[in-house]
Structure 1
Amino acid sequence: MLSTAPPPPISNELVLTESRTMRAQTIERTDALDKVKALAMLPDNLHVTTEMAATYFEVDAQAIHSLVRRNRDELEQNGMATLQGAELRAFKTETGGQGDHLFNGVRTLRVFTRRALLNVGQLLTDSEVARQVREYLLNIEQVVRDDTTPRQLTQAKRLPPKTFRQVFFSDVPEGRFFGHLYTHNYLLDQRNQRKDEFGNLTKEGFRHGHPKAGKGDRFFMLPETSYVDANGRLRGRAVVRPDRIQDLVEQLISEGLRHNPSISRAPSRLALTESTVINGYRITMRRGA
């Protein structure tokens, strides 16, 4: 039966700024940086400067300096370094291959590895880019985790389409991905079907994102958190059926969506490079060719 209570609140991405344990759990996911925004690095493809970090996170360099002062030990443990003297001279040569040309006149240089830059994103609160990085990290932490408590798997939440895209089709822009689901009869598209307070059709219909009959029902369902509002309307967004995740991945690839590198084609089924726990459900896919 559907609950009449409103859905629980979504977890706050700021948990990463508050918990060093959570930051340590996700610090290896440096791929989050490239998933959120293109990252420019120094010629060694290993480091960025303070100014480059500020550019990536779209903040003033002073915000990075302030963050370093408050979290120096943690950032240094994750690869941040302040170079000077012989160490800096060697770095200038190795980085640009042109002696002092790249950092002419610089006597002290702070650099960040990708891991240290991700650490900045975990901590930086006044940046929309950093917020998106944290959201990506939490989504991945939720859907790809060690299977340490098998008995708790049945209590897991369902996989929403947004997280499904990040795990399997993150190279496909979110707008294109959802557009594909709408035009290929997976989900109802009720964008711009209700008027706002100014009389403009900018609000979503009450059934926006529900599974479409037939093809949509085969791969998607409404979760247990769906509820009936005061006007008797069923509210909620579709989630992927836990027993059809592999089938949906294969179906979308066959329809032309570009899959993540961790997924490869095999003669019969798709395969992941390893068994994966997705929202508490272990999805075991045979290793591909």
Structure 2
Amino acid sequence: MASIAPPISNELVLTESRTMRAQTIERTDALDKVKALSVLPNSLHVTTDMAASYYEVGVDTVKSVILRNRKELTSNGMKVLRGTELRAFKAETEVHGEPLFVGVNSLRLFSRRALLNVGQLLTESDVARRVREYLLNAEQVVRQEVQPGQAIPARHMTPTAFRQIYFSDVAENAFWEHLYTHGYLLDQRNQRRDTFGNLTKDGYRHGHPRAGTGDRFFMLPEDMWVDPNGRPRGRAVVRPDRAKELVEQLISEGLRANPSISWFPSRLALTSIEVVDGHQIEFRRGA
């Protein structure tokens, strides 16, 4: 049986592996944990200058990251406003009736995910390095060996990690859809309006446990990010004492579990190997 790879100590693995970046991109709480983050008045975005300030690098350095990774950053919420969209955004972000972007004909904005994505890629920043270290530490439970009988820390067992361990043959979108439609998690997709009046933003409680079945198996993590209005933002995690029961429940509802299951992920079936910066990294699934 293949041995488990030791915990990854080289944070540069995130700069080299898009698989690892995708695995940790939801942990936008890392931004606030590492350093105080200033955002625009809409509490949702930062500009290129603000991204450079957060990571304590020059604007040209951030632009270089954009040039090399435009498609990935765009998929995570980076966008450029022009014309009508820009005028609407300027009106929304006025402070005491004074516009912030006078004379600006186009404006690049980063969502929290996109800003985190910059930190995953940026090698010339100590702040970005600390962000990557936080991300790897937060996800380490998926890779490390857990002794039999040892509970997994609740803040680490995200539904994504749970699927990777026990239901990795189920497509990720199908897995999340099952959690929504079977009463585990709240589905508030496209329930809030964006800057332009379109219903494209998730509700504030999207992904939180539903009363009843959801509360039985899921909980909000103790380190969840809270927005300036006091609303917890983010998704639920699996209750560590209910992981085995949740596996059995999902199997009874028709989800296909991995061929062999160990109730703690101390023996994970190897799926692929990547060699990153001289380190052999094993990406595993199943049990």
TM-score by length of 2: 0.50
TM-score by length of 1: 0.50
Q: Of the two, which has the highest radius of gyration?
A: 1
